[in-house]
Amino acid sequence: MKRKEMMLVAVLFGAALLCGVVFTLLMNRTPEEVVYAPVRPLKWDYRPPSELTSDETERKALEVKLRFAIPNVNISTGLRRHSFGQGAKLCDWVVVGTIGEITDFHAEINLLVETCLHGKLPKGKQVFRVKNYMDPLFADIADGTVKVGDKILVFLVGTGYDGMHLITSPRPAENADFFEFDKAKAKGPEREKTDGMYAWSYLLLDDTATEKAATCTAKGYLDFFGEKGKRDRERYVEFLCSLLNSPVKRIRDDAESDLVLFYEREMLADLDRLLTDGRVRKEVKDYLRYLLRDEKPAR
């Protein structure tokens, strides 16, 4: 065999071997790892302006402008994780009850549980804590918005289980920002601490209509993220769009935030389905169209 022919055979053999290795690696990964990857909007690109190209600078400015047009989305990722949808993914209990007592400088709350929508808690007195003064519930108790005798729907988590260590995994089932996130597969050292319950987020149920809407909404989210929930992307998008007409502003805002987060993370989701939905605000469509397709909104 001539030298050139031997070199060609060697190159082809090496290429075949490389393809085999890549194929094996892909086959050993879960489907969601191969298909889904986090979108990183330029807003989250923390390189200094001097390191951005002119095109990147222009894109980032427009992206920020479009994001500012959606107030309940243009907040920190940490706060967005306290929506109804993200709470349903991260919480260990979802409870409706009446506040019986507030002690320890507004940080410890005795709740008279009426209904446990998720997790196992008996009816009657249960004690949970508010993590710190930055928690919205802490502030609302301190200024008198929430007081003894008020009824609330509250998402509760185990001590240390704040979800912040659950956002860096490349595996969607272990990353709290993804639709595929599964609490059972995301056990870290913080998850093992169970010496108490802490408020994750809450909603004041100041009338019967709000209580009914909030309870139905929480149950709807738990149909996807609860222990027996079924993850169906198309059905989830339809559910979120249906909430955009809720008479309760908090539910509408959370649904919009959850909808945007879903599309930011699920790169292969059907964006056309959303863009033709009359319930979705133009500002949301403009942002996602630009983020995912690089299409600038019409002037």
Q: Could you tell me if residue 24 is inside a domain?
A: no
Q: Output phi, psi for 20, to 5 deg.
A: -65, -40
Separation between Cα atoms, residue 254 and residue 262, nearest integer Å: 12
Q: Could you tell me if residue 214 is inside a domain?
A: yes
pLDDT for the residue 132: 63
Share of the chain above pLDDT 90, in %: 33
Q: Where does residue 42 rank: exposed (0-12), middle (13-18), buried (19+ CB within 10 A)?
A: middle
- Give me the domain span that covers residue 95: 77-293
How many other CB atoms are there within 10 angstroms of residue 54's CB atom?
A: 7
Q: What is the CA radius of gyration of the chain?
A: 23
- DSSP letter for each residue of 31-67: HHHHH------GGG--S-GGGS-HHHHHHHHHHHHHH
Q: Could you tell me if residue 64 is inside a domain?
A: no
Q: Could you tell me if residue 206 is inside a domain?
A: yes
Share of the chain above pLDDT 70, in %: 72
Domain total for the chain?
1
pTM for this entry:
0.78
Name the range with the highest mean pLDDT among 37-41, 68-72, 79-83, 210-214.
210-214
List the structure tokens of 132: 């710190």
> Helices marked H in 124-193 — which ranges?
136-142
pLDDT for the residue 209: 97
Cα dist from 157 to 2, 134, 205, 234, whole Å: 70, 17, 20, 28
Non-local (6+) Cβ contacts of 107 within 8 A are: 129, 130, 138
Q: Could you tell me if residue 32 is inside a domain?
A: no
Q: Could you tell me if residue 137 is inside a domain?
A: yes
State the residue for tokens 């509760």.
156
Is pLDDT of 278 > 60? yes
Q: Could you tell me if residue 26 is inside a domain?
A: no
pLDDT tens digits, one per residue of 150-200: 999 999 987 555 444 555 566 777 777 888 888 777 655 445 555 678 888
